Amino acid sequence: MSNKRTYPEGVPRWVDTEQPDVDDADAAASAVRAAGGSVTLEPVDAGPGGRLAACVDPRGARFRLWQPRRRLGAQLANAAGSWNFSDLHTGDAAAATGFYAPLFGLGVRRYRIRDDDPAARLR
């Protein structure tokens, strides 16, 4: 499901809404703030399915946190017909990886798509 919103040139955004699973939405929201991001919707129960929070990274890209209970999220990834990846379009890949990698305990692989287009993969 692609993000249908339009953003002014230079505003970072996730192409598909990013919603990583976390063990504790309240602790993760606190970690977002400590890392320089902001929380626009405080952690709240989303029925019996789980708990969620809405956040913005330091450069303005919106994302959500999901603490699963009954609704576990993607159970299959990187297989035909399943979720594959989410793209963050930003003018500062280094700042984005500096925010997201430690926040979610991810490793970083940096590369370039073109000479003028730095990118990184978080895993």
65-120 pLDDT, tens per residue?
989 887 666 556 667 766 666 778 788 888 888 999 999 888 887 777 676 666 66
Q: Determine how many CB atoms are found less than 10 A away from the CB of residue 38.
A: 13
- Residue whose entry in the numeric block shows the structure tokens 């598909």: 16
The burial of 119, by beta-carbon neighbours within 10 Å (0-12 exposed, 13-18 middle, 19 or more buried), is given as: middle
